[in-house]
Chain A
Amino acid sequence: MSETNTHFRNVNENPCNMCMPMGGILALKGIEKTMVIIHGSQGCSTYMRRHISEHFNEPVDVASSSLNEKGTVYGGEENLKKGLDNLRKVYHPDFIGILTTCLAETIGEDIERIAQEYVRERDLSQDLVVAVPTPGYGGTHTEGYFLTIRRIVAKLAKKTQKHSRINVIIPNISPADIRELKRILSLMDIGYILLPDFSDTLDAPYSRLYRKIPEGGTPLAHIKAMSGAMATVELGITVDDSLSAGKYLEDEYGVPLYRLPLPMGIENTDLFLKTLGEITGKGVPKVLELERGRLLDSMIDSHKYNFQGRCAVFGETELVYAISTTCLENGIFPAVIATGSRNERLGALLAKSLQEGGSNYVLLNDTDFAHIREQCKIMKVNLAIGSSEGRYLTEREGIPLVRVGFPVHDQVGGQRILSLGYQGTMAFLDRITNTLLDNKHQNYRSSLYRKYFVG
């Protein structure tokens, strides 16, 4: 087993991550009646909109302050304020997120001051605008995502009366997965505030009336009340304290924090339900017990096929952790584990289980796809699990890809991929097993012929 990174290299060859403001947009799209403006040159917002649109198949409106040369030299304050005016005229949002870019940060824009001045000058609520510093060179979209959630909570949460709901803070997962978490919470009869909730905003049902800001998202009033919750469950064990909204609520308002992995796989889902039970005193309903039983049944049915799998798992840290542990539970060995983030926690968290897995593995931090590809060859990987970018491994090395995570832009339905809870885990494992079986069926006759007949 080893941990490597690519720090000694000077080129990132086919990126395994996106930039900070991308994560910020995703987080803000999960807040009710919210609009986003990117403070920077015009391209950033357009590229990110395009990427998000392809994954969710939804319109994704994001404004830009469209900084030009003049704004870059003399400061973009006027541009940004005008942009805020304009987007309010067209979208009438209840909440606005300003995200910065490489450009705005490098020229030293003080967006916090500009934002405050703006609401004062226009006589608007102090709570209307949140500003988040998200320079492209400051981290990946994962860090941008969590930082933005923390800033939103810091902006809106106010001292409030205690109540019996719990906060659930989630990483970047599919709308289908968000809906599954909500279903589980409802089945357990638990009141919750889930942040951010883009299960409707980025996966809206067709309706005759078009809304510029789609319905749904975490209500602002709920975010304000997060400070009075019974507890926070943050599905973010790899998240640094400085980026954690749960940590903020614990430090500022004394809301007990439970940091859990995504409920994927038996152990993680059990832990999720057990923790919910401990916090609220609610038991696991029969429906979920049956689903657990079915998952176990399917795991047994597939275990020998799964044993054939040696996989590469890549992407955002929370998902990589959950997928890796789920694979280990099922005898699919994650030989290459990779993320574009610089994240110390992921390796430490996985080390014990991977070592027990008894085989060699590599953990790649801050990596790119050229490096992942190299390691896949060395580690004899026969399955890749992650976003559409992994199609590069299929094309170049013939390694089949099971798509999960963000972005899925070369197939439809990225927003509908379900992988959480007992049901989601079962769906995920079926996709894995069937990919292994397809591969087997395509090759076994010819490979046995070559091995034993031709010799």
Chain B
Amino acid sequence: MLDLAIEERKDFVYTKSKQRKALKCDTDSISGAVSQRACVYCGARVVLNPITDAVHLVHGSIGCASYTWDIRGSLSSGSELYRNSFSTDLKEQDVIFGGEKKLTKAIEELVQKYRPRLVFVYSTCVVGVIGDDLEAVCRAMAAKHNIEIIPVQSSGFVGNKSMGYRAACDSLLRLIEPRRGQKIVKRKNCLNLMGDFNLAGETWIIKEYLNRMGLALNVAFTGDAKYETLKTATQASLNIVQCAGSMMYLAKKFEEKYGTPFLRVSFVGIEDTVESLRRIAKAINDQEVYEKTEELIAVEMEKTIPVIQEYGKALQGKKAAVYVGGGFKAISLIKQFKELGIEVVMIGTQTGGPEDYAAINDLVEEGTVILDDANPAEIERFTLEKGAHLLVGGVKERPLAYKLGLAFIDHNHDRKHPLCGFDGAVNFAREVYSTVCSPVWKYV
């Protein structure tokens, strides 16, 4: 067992060896450990925010809305309403006397000004404690204005970020439920994409692949989604799930309620993109779709592989450390680094589950450090001990990598370039090259 300063952290970290070990994960962060995780509200907001024509109203004091105003790279083909951050901005008086009245007035004001058809009301810590009845306020206002107002139970203390994903999925399930008596007609060759947030247009890239395969993207959860299209979600005949950490719950519930099967996919890296496209074609089970898929793969591979190989030449033998949010990304990244001749020597996630870590364990070499809910001290220690040349992470990890003299890859929701599919794989290879082979390292 690795020697760590904080005793309780020992169960969350291990070095891969012949003996397989179960990693402790998917539980509360340890006090004082400087976790890189955010909270329930963050999880919920990340998942729902890409819905473009919704009002996203944060019921609480100002900070929660300030720190989440237009910080994500999700793109829209229509409304820009989601890029605003609305808050009830609770003050001391509201905390003492309750915030329901203020919430009611806030919804009135927003409905008047923007005429939305959909409003999400996010609960925050303070609201969870003072016990405002979000459900009642939302129901009353929805009835009054004849629109949908959905409360999101995302008080920060009720769990970790994964709990926020679940709260968001529960809200989505409410939203897509067909009206009573409405018959569900499934459309052939029509798919929903789950767990893609249209960062830098990624949903659009996947949509284009599906179209070239002779398939239609019905609606994405939640990249570039809008009220109208979300309402048609039950018409899809298959759900493909990318970010399983946030959306597996939705996919399972969907299957349970509407009998729609789901398929796990990942468009991160060439290997997983190709495999996912083939698995979709197989699930559709149509000769024409199958042929078109192979054609798509052949055309794209021919364009992509030489570029990636060229970058790979300069990157052979380099070592990478990975610390990202979700399990699917971590798993795909191990394979994607292999495509570039790079070995992953440290890998961890904020919200991965036992299955994710089992898959990670199987993919990495012996000696690789695997860790859940890591902190800066652990990232510092293991990147250095393992001799990593680069780190993959988000905004908080970037300056740490740079201070340690490591190259860095931004794999977060703020990025401005797509990293999915074939184009994304080229972007990724270029980004790795641009940071690992930069001349600046000669001077440090």
Residues of A with Cβ closer than 8 Å to B? 9-15, 17-19, 21-22, 37, 40-51, 53-54, 56-69, 71-72, 79-80, 82-87, 89-91, 101-103, 106-107, 135-138, 140, 204, 206, 208, 210, 212, 340, 370, 389, 392
Q: What residues on B are CB-neighbors of A41 within 8 Å? A: 39-40, 125, 156-157
State how many angstroms separate the Cβ of B253 from the closest Cβ of chain A: 23
Known pairs A10-B106, A69-B158; A46 contacts B95 (CB<8 A): no
Q: Most chain-A Cβ atoms within 10 A of its Cβ — which of B36, B60, B63?
A: B63
9 closest A-B pairs by beta carbon, nearest first, are A43-B39, A19-B63, A83-B32, A86-B32, A41-B156, A83-B31, A136-B61, A12-B89, A137-B61
State how many angstroms separate the Cβ of B115 from the closest Cβ of chain A: 15
Taking A48-B63, A79-B31, A86-B5 as known contacts, 6 extra A-B pairs with beta carbons closer than 8 A to each other, sorted by chain A number, are A19-B66, A72-B157, A85-B32, A90-B375, A135-B92, A206-B444
Q: Is the CB of A66 within 8 A of B29?
A: yes
Q: What residues on A are CB-neighbors of B91 within 8 Å? A: 137
Q: Is the CB of A46 within 8 A of B6?
A: no
Q: Is the CB of A46 within 8 A of B110?
A: no
Q: What residues on A are CB-neighbors of B66 within 8 Å? A: 15, 17-19
0 or 1 for each of B1-33: is its CB under 8 Å from A? (1 = yes): 000011000000000000000000000111111
Verify if B74 is at the interface (C-beta below 8 Å from A): no
Q: Tell me, in angstroms, the Cα distance from A10 to B100 when the chains sit together.
A: 11
Q: Which of B62, B67, B157 contacts A12, CB < 8 Å?
A: B62
* CB interface residues, B 30-78, toward A, < 8 Å: 30-42, 57, 60-70
Q: Is the CB of A64 within 8 A of B31?
A: yes
* CB interface residues, B 394-412, toward A, < 8 Å: 394-396, 398-400, 402-405
Q: What residues on A are CB-neighbors of B108 within 8 Å? A: 10
Q: What residues on B are CB-neighbors of A370 within 8 Å? A: 84
State how many angstroms separate the Cβ of A288 from the closest Cβ of chain B: 34
Q: What residues on A are CB-neighbors of B102 within 8 Å? A: 10
Known pairs A12-B87, A18-B62, A106-B126; A47 contacts B157 (CB<8 A): no
Q: Which of B61, B67, B159 contacts A48, CB < 8 Å?
A: B67
Q: Tell me, in angstroms, the Cα distance from A170 to B40 when the chains sit together.
A: 35
Q: Is the CB of B41 within 8 A of A43?
A: yes
Q: Which of B35, B57, B444 contacts A66, CB < 8 Å?
A: B35
Verify if B130 is at the interface (C-beta below 8 Å from A): yes
State how many angstroms separate the Cβ of B411 from the closest Cβ of chain A: 15
Q: Is the CB of A12 within 8 A of B65?
A: yes
Q: Is the CB of B30 within 8 A of A66?
A: yes
Q: Is the CB of A43 within 8 A of B156?
A: yes
Q: Most chain-A Cβ atoms within 10 A of its Cβ — which of B62, B64, B403?
A: B62
Known pairs A10-B88, A89-B6; A68 contacts B157 (CB<8 A): yes
Residue of A nearest to B45 (CB): A43
Q: Tell me, in angstroms, the Cα distance from A295 to B169 when the chains sit together.
A: 58
Verify if B376 is at the interface (C-beta below 8 Å from A): yes
Verify if B215 is at the interface (C-beta below 8 Å from A): no
Q: What residues on A are CB-neighbors of B129 within 8 Å? A: 72, 103, 106-107
Q: Which of A86, A106, A140, A392 contacts B62, CB < 8 Å?
A: A140
Known pairs A69-B159, A86-B30, A210-B404; A9 contacts B396 (CB<8 A): no
Known pairs A11-B86, A51-B67; A137 contacts B126 (CB<8 A): yes
State how many angstroms separate the Cβ of A99 from the closest Cβ of chain B: 12
Q: Is the CB of B28 within 8 A of A102?
A: no
Q: Is the CB of B5 within 8 A of A40?
A: no
Q: Tell me, in angstroms, the Cα distance from A37 to B60 when the chains sit together.
A: 22
State how many angstroms separate the Cβ of B91 from the closest Cβ of chain A: 5
0 or 1 for each of B78-107: is its CB under 8 Å from A? (1 = yes): 000000111111111011000000100110
Q: Tell me, in angstroms, the Cα distance from A392 to B84 when the chains sit together.
A: 10
Q: Tell me, in angstroms, the Cα distance from A64 to B413 when the chains sit together.
A: 23
Known pairs A14-B85, A18-B62, A69-B158; A64 contacts B29 (CB<8 A): yes
Residue of B nearest to A370 (CB): B84
Verify if B377 is at the interface (C-beta below 8 Å from A): yes
Verify if B133 is at the interface (C-beta below 8 Å from A): no
Q: Is the CB of B159 within 8 A of A212?
A: no
Residue of A nearest to B27 (CB): A68
Q: Is the CB of A42 within 8 A of B63?
A: no
Q: What residues on A are CB-neighbors of B444 within 8 Å? A: 206, 208
Q: Is the CB of B157 within 8 A of A103?
A: yes
Q: Which of B31, B40, B376, B395 contacts A50, CB < 8 Å?
A: B395
Q: What residues on A are CB-neighbors of B242 within 8 Å? A: none
Q: Is the CB of A42 within 8 A of B29?
A: yes
Q: Is the CB of A102 within 8 A of B125?
A: yes
Q: What residues on B are CB-neighbors of A340 within 8 Å? A: 62
State how many angstroms separate the Cβ of A34 from the closest Cβ of chain B: 14
Known pairs A138-B92, A210-B403; A44 contacts B32 (CB<8 A): no
Q: Which of B5, B6, B38, B126 contacts A103, CB < 8 Å?
A: B126
State how many angstroms separate the Cβ of B157 from the closest Cβ of chain A: 4
Please list 12 pairs of residues, one from A and one from B, whose beta carbons are closer than 8 Å in the complex, sorted by A's number.
A12-B86, A14-B85, A21-B63, A47-B63, A47-B68, A48-B63, A48-B67, A57-B402, A65-B31, A106-B126, A137-B92, A212-B380
Q: Tell me, in angstroms, the Cα distance from A295 to B63 when the chains sit together.
A: 39
State how many angstroms separate the Cβ of A341 from the closest Cβ of chain B: 11
Q: What residues on B are CB-neighbors of A83 within 8 Å? A: 31-32
Q: What residues on B are CB-neighbors of A212 within 8 Å? A: 376-377, 380
Verify if B124 is at the interface (C-beta below 8 Å from A): yes
Q: Which of B39, B41, B109 contacts A10, CB < 8 Å?
A: B109
Q: Is the CB of A57 within 8 A of B67?
A: no
Q: What residues on A are CB-neighbors of B5 within 8 Å? A: 86, 89-90
Q: Is the CB of A53 within 8 A of B88?
A: no
Q: What residues on A are CB-neighbors of B157 within 8 Å? A: 40-41, 67-69, 71-72, 103
Known pairs A12-B62, A15-B69, A50-B396; A106 contacts B130 (CB<8 A): yes
Q: Which of B35, B63, B86, B160 contacts A136, CB < 8 Å?
A: B63
* CB interface residues, B 370-395, toward A, < 8 Å: 375-377, 380, 394-395
State how many angstroms separate the Cβ of B127 from the closest Cβ of chain A: 9
Residue of B nearest to A41 (CB): B156
Residue of B nearest to A85 (CB): B32
Q: What residues on B are CB-neighbors of A21 within 8 Å? A: 63
Q: Tell me, in angstroms, the Cα distance from A277 to B416 when the chains sit together.
A: 51
Q: Tell me, in angstroms, the Cα distance from A298 to B403 when the chains sit together.
A: 38
Q: Tell me, in angstroms, the Cα distance from A63 to B30 when the chains sit together.
A: 10
Q: Is the CB of A44 within 8 A of B88?
A: no
Q: Tell me, in angstroms, the Cα distance from A9 to B31 when the chains sit together.
A: 38
Q: Tell me, in angstroms, the Cα distance from A22 to B63 when the chains sit together.
A: 9
Q: Is the CB of A44 within 8 A of B28?
A: no
State how many angstroms separate the Cβ of A203 from the closest Cβ of chain B: 11
Q: What residues on B are CB-neighbors of A37 within 8 Å? A: 32
Q: What residues on B are CB-neighbors of A79 within 8 Å? A: 31
Q: Is the CB of A90 within 8 A of B34?
A: yes
Residue of A nearest to B128 (CB): A72
Known pairs A69-B157, A90-B34; A59 contacts B400 (CB<8 A): yes
Q: What residues on B are CB-neighbors of A61 within 8 Å? A: 34, 376
* CB interface residues, B 247-272, toward A, < 8 Å: none
Q: Tell me, in angstroms, the Cα distance from A205 to B268 when the chains sit together.
A: 36
